Amino acid sequence: MADFTHAFARRTRMRGGDGLTSILAGSPPGVLSMTGGFPNPATFPTDELDEIAARLLRDDAAVALQYTPCEGIASVREYLVDRQEQLQGRRPEPAELVVTSGGMECIALMCQTLIDPGDTVVVEAPSYLGALMAFGGAEADTVAIATDDEGLRVDALAERLADGLRPKFVYTIPEYQNPTGRTLPLERRHELVELCRRHRALIFEDVAYRELPFDGASLPSLWSLAPDIVVQAGTFSKSFFPGVRLGWATGPAEVIAELAAAKQITDQCAGGLGQRLVEEYGRAGGFERHLPAARALYASHWAALSAALGRHMPEGVGWTEPAGGFLTWVTLPEEVDTLAMRSAATAAGVAYVPGAPFHVGANGHNTLRLSFSHLTEVELETAVERLAAVVRAAPGRRGRG
Ligand SMILES: Cc1ncc(COP(=O)(O)O)c(C=O)c1O
């Protein structure tokens, strides 16, 4: 068989491990999986989608099934501008918003627009695997800044900037972060914005989970605080459904224009059908009707997982307390290696994502990410019971109870 590996571009070797691929691959039958950050299918509004899709095909095929302008269908853009104002208290100018094929495409467009090989990008330690792989693939020099229970340590970033670090942008996920589930408090948001303004650093804010607070309340987005220095990537993957592959980027007009230009040489436009589905669903009040139930579902799953962790995990194990989204981050004793522990966990019938791939460099060996979106409350209890038994038996912990 012909071997084409010699022809692969250099960037194919820069993306980093197989982390995301193995998460997306799923788990063997019988294994209770807490891996993928996928929304629960029970939150998909299938009846309404059925009705809207039929109507679009019947009455709007010339738009919904056609290529669309690169920056998005005009009525969809108008809807998204209104929605930003309604949800985030600030109205972008039309030139400050572009429709994207999801959040991940926005990350890819930012790479195309801003990163030359060797350029510095700042990320949180740990951060979203897809973004780390994209930055690696763009041959960025990715610099990780420490986080604590309140997210990005702005003081640590301030030190690095004072020492001369000049990032092309600072990538942050302020709400229910992937992978830690943590949220950046208001005071730090103001500090981050002021710091970056002083250093003329662009902030790249990823709001993938923002619309899933357990209690319905949100802090101001970074973009709403500083639209002059923040590009926001939004997605309908968690609040609507990932199959729609739809999101937005909003930020300074000159950056948005370049993102739209970059989109001309990727997919040229987000799918028209998905754009019109979001618009019709949104204008009919679908998000307001359905999101409360999704938030309540994830809140009750978290309550069950949190209680199970408290009941079953041995001493020396800690976890974050998300206020929304569907991820928590577990820290095991120093001597446990969660990558090595994965096969024992699979054999015991439970799956998680090891923490190391979410880090730049060799960190986080004793951490792991749990998603509580899919399993039922009863399954979460069983999954944690199994995981706790695996942790107790992990090499380095034997005999320690
Ligand atoms: C923080 C974060 N950003 C972006 C994405 C990608 O979103 P999309 O499905 O819209 O490409 C995800 C998906 O898991 C995510 O967790």
Q: What are phi and psi of 345, to 5 degrees?
A: -65, -45
What CA–CA distance (Å, rounded) separates 17 from 26?
Answer: 17
By alpha-carbon position, which residue is closest to atom 2 of ligand 1?
208
pLDDT tens track for 44-78: 999 999 999 999 999 999 999 999 999 999 999 99
Q: Select the more confidently predicted residue: 25 or 238.
A: 238
Return the structure tokens found at 372: 């509580």
- Tell me, in angstroms, the distance from the centre of ligand 1 to residue 377's CA: 25
The closest residue, in CA terms, to atom 16 on ligand 1 is: 178
Q: How far is the CA of 242 from the centre of ligand 1 (A)?
A: 9
For residues 163 and 155, give the distance between their C-alpha atoms in angstroms, rounded to a whole number: 12
Q: How many angstroms does the Cα of residue 3 sit away from the middle of ligand 1?
A: 33
Instruction: Give the contacts of 15 (CB within 8 A, at least 6 positions apart).
Output: 133, 136, 137
- Sign (positive or negative) of CA dihedral 309, 315, 317, 322: positive
Ligand 1 atom closest to 106 (CA):
11
103 C-alpha to center of ligand 1: Å? 5
Name the residue with the closest Cα to ligand 1, atom 7: 103
d(CA 31, CA 163): 48
Dihedral sign computed on CA atoms, order 232, 236, 237, 239: positive
3-class SS at 144? Answer: strand
- Note the pLDDT of residue 395: 81
Residues having CB within 6 Å of any atom of ligand 1: 37, 102-104, 128, 130, 173, 178, 206, 208, 235, 237, 242, 247
pLDDT for the residue numbered 229: 98
The model's confidence at residue 399, banded by pLDDT at 50, 70 and 90, is: very low
- Compute φ and ψ for 318, nearest 5 degrees: -125, 160
Q: pTM score, two decimals?
A: 0.96
| Dist. CA 132 → ligand 1 center (Å) | 12
Backbone phi and psi for residue 349, each to the nearest 5 degrees, phi listed first = 90, 30
Percentage of the chain surpassing pLDDT 70?
96
Q: Please tell me the distance between residue 131's alpha carbon and the centre of ligand 1 in angstroms.
A: 9
112 to each of 13, 99, 144, 159, 261, how far by Cα in Å? 18, 16, 20, 28, 10
User: Strand runs (DSSP E) across 131-197, as ranges?
Assistant: 141-148, 151-152, 169-172
